[in-house]
Amino acid sequence: MILDNRADAAARLILALDLPTRARALEFIHETEGLVGSYKIGSQLFTAEGPTLVRDIVARGQSVFLDLKFHDIPNTVAGAAVEAARLGVRMLTIHALGGETMMRRAVEAVHDLCDGEGLTPPRLIAVTLLTSLGREDLKKIHLSGTPEEIVADLAELAYSCGMDGVVASAHECPAIRARVTDPRFVLIVPGIRPADSSPHDQQRIVTPGHALRLGADYLVVGRPILESPTPRQAAERILAEIAAYCDRHLDTAESDLQGN
Ligand code: C5P
């Protein structure tokens, strides 16, 4: 049971490979073997190393989350999402602020491709608001309303377009769950910091356990592991916190079943 829980916990941990080179990315993949469910490739690593690295990591049997946050006219985003699906990534991101038509076209194009070619479709994940944006930043870009309201509206829009989940801050998870009740709609939460680590440029951070309690399905962690002098131990500590949550959750589910 404990071993299963650890595998379940690892599946929830996404390591953000915000790194400049293939060599460093492969080093971290090796270093965190068995502790991480997916590796997130964002704009830095993708710009440096391109789709070859994505294909190579997929070919090693690892799950890749391609976080290029597509945001363009519908035709361009649909084309980009199709190419990402061909790479074999398990998840990819599209900005919800790109609007309804853009998200719908991407969903249709990816499903048409995967149905036609017998591929497993990647999960299409909407980016709501970047967790680095505070209230003042939102005002400067003319976004009125609280982050919770904006995020819940964008999440609902993404769901209605057929998207599979959203990236959001942990604090927004309860508002999203209240608005989109389908449990298959996944919540991916960055801005995770173990209790004693630096917030860096993130404005809305939480600990791993807190994020899960607020409703996160997956946790994205970058610098707390990448900048640690002992990355494997840092990943182990985060995993232990996730596993402790899964244990408690399982205990509660079991006692509910037994009518306790
Ligand atoms: O280093 P850190 O743990 O802060 O990394 C967070 C990761 O999550 C980065 O790769 C960043 O691009 C991503 N992210 C985020 N906020 C969002 C969406 C993605 O921080 N709303």
- Which residue's CA lies nearest to atom 17 of ligand 1? 130
Ligand 1 centroid vs 5 CA: distance in angstroms? 25
Closest-CA residue, ligand 1 atom 2, reads 222
Q: What is the pLDDT of residues 78-99, one digit of tens each?
A: 999 999 999 999 999 999 999 9
The finding on whether 147 has its CB within 6 A of some atom of ligand 1 is no
**What's the gap in Å between 99 CA and the centre of ligand 1?**
21
Q: What percent of the chain has pLDDT over 90?
A: 78
Pocket probe for ligand 1: among 64, 127, 131, 207, the residue whose CB has the most ligand atoms within 8 Å is: 131
* 132 three-state secondary structure: coil
Tell me the per-residue pLDDT of 28-50, one tens digit each, with 9 for 90 and over.
999 999 999 999 999 999 999 99
What atom of ligand 1 comes closest to residue 18's alpha carbon?
10
Output the CA 191–ligand 1 centroid distance in Å: 6
Q: Quick: pLDDT tens for 58-75.
A: 999 999 999 999 999 999
202 lines ligand 1 (CB under 6 A): yes
Please confirm, yes or no, whether 69 is among the known catalytic residues: yes
Establish whether residue 190 lines the binding site of ligand 1, counting it when its CB lies within 6 angstroms of any ligand atom.
yes
The percentage of residues in the chain with a pLDDT greater than 70, rounded to a whole number, is: 93
Ligand 1 centre distance from Cα of residue 218 (Å): 13
* Furthest C-alpha separation in the chain: 55
Identify the residue whose C-alpha is closest to ligand 1 atom 3: 222
Among 99, 122, 129, which residue's Cα sits nearest to residue 190? Answer: 129
Asked whether 184 and 160 are in contact (CB, 8 A), the reply is no
Q: Is the CB of 220 under 6 A from ligand 1?
A: yes
- Angstrom CA distances, 201 to 147, 187, 192, 236, stand at 17, 21, 12, 24
pLDDT tens readout for residues 150-183: 999 999 999 999 999 999 999 999 999 999 999 9
Tens of pLDDT along 184-202?
Answer: 999 999 999 987 777 777 6
97 lines ligand 1 (CB under 6 A): no
Which of 36, 38, 107 minimizes the C-alpha distance to 70? 107
Q: Which residues of 57-78 are buried (b: 16+ CB within 10 A; e: fewer)?
A: bbeeeebbbbbbbbbeebeebb
Nearest to 122 by CA among 203, 40, 229, 202: 40
